[in-house]
Amino acid sequence: MDYYPIFLDIRGKSCLVVGGGRVAERKVAGLLAAGARVYVAARSLTGKLKGLAEAGQIEYLGPEYRVEHLDGRVLAMVATDDESLNRRVAEEAESRGVLVNVADVPELCRFILPALVSQGPLALAVSTGGASPAAARMIREELEARFGPEWGDFLNLMALVRRKRLKEPFVPKENKDAFTRLARAGIPDLIREGRLGEVEEILREVMGEDYTLKELGFMVQSPGVEP
């Protein structure tokens, strides 16, 4: 295994993107989705990045990257077509202990970005260690077909059940057994098919009569499923 798999909490953390094209735009979007504070240095910006800067969602640092731009950053992402600049940013980031990713140049990266399937709280990351991004995309597409939006609803429901359960007295082993039963009960498929009455029957059977969807405050988000 060439890379240590990890999910980073970068909410409110300062991150740098060097580059302002389409690839940089995707990097910025991912960082913003994770709650990061994003700073961009680039000679030019796409229309979307300009709009984000004008709206105050990102901070534009100007056309020229400077080493000071790395100060206080948790990580840096580089997406330019200037090989010498890419290498310079990577070296300066590493010397300052800043995690760095250079698009399409694995040897300059201290972390790589996996192909990601995201459904609410569910995140499935696929990496080939940089050997074949095309294969990673293919696997991601297969996972997207297998794990649809209903899985986001299922995990939101489980979070509500867990929150309620932890307020009650329980025996740890019994609790573990109950959650295992719920995990194996096929609830995501029932949600996808709109069979919420059956979901509630399972909840009441496993957890107790007061575990109803209404009591839990559960609302379906999956498209096409009647609440």
Both 165 and 93 in one domain: the answer is no
Same domain for 108 and 159:
no
Total count of domains within the chain: 2
Statement to judge: residues 22 and 106 lie in one domain:
yes
| Residue corresponding to tokens 């740098």 | 16
- Considering the domain boundaries, does residue 119 fall inside one? no
Domain range spanning residue 25?
14-113
Q: Are residues 57 and 105 in the same domain?
A: yes
Say what the pLDDT of residue 224 is. Answer: 63
Instruction: Provide, rounded to the nearest whole percent, the portion of the chain with pLDDT above 90.
Output: 84
Q: Which among 147, 164, 166 is positioned nearest to 203, based on CA atoms?
A: 164
Q: What is the pLDDT of residues 29-66, one digit of tens each?
A: 999 999 999 999 999 999 999 999 999 999 999 999 99
For residue 3, is it within any domain?
Answer: no
Residue 1 has pLDDT above 90, yes or no: no
What confidence tens digit (pLDDT) does each residue in 191-208 have? 999 999 999 999 999 999
Check residue 133 and give its pLDDT.
84
Q: What is the pLDDT of residue 221?
A: 87
**Nearest to 157, CA basis, from 205, 116, 215, 117:** 215
Give pLDDT tens digits for 85-101.
999 999 999 999 999 99
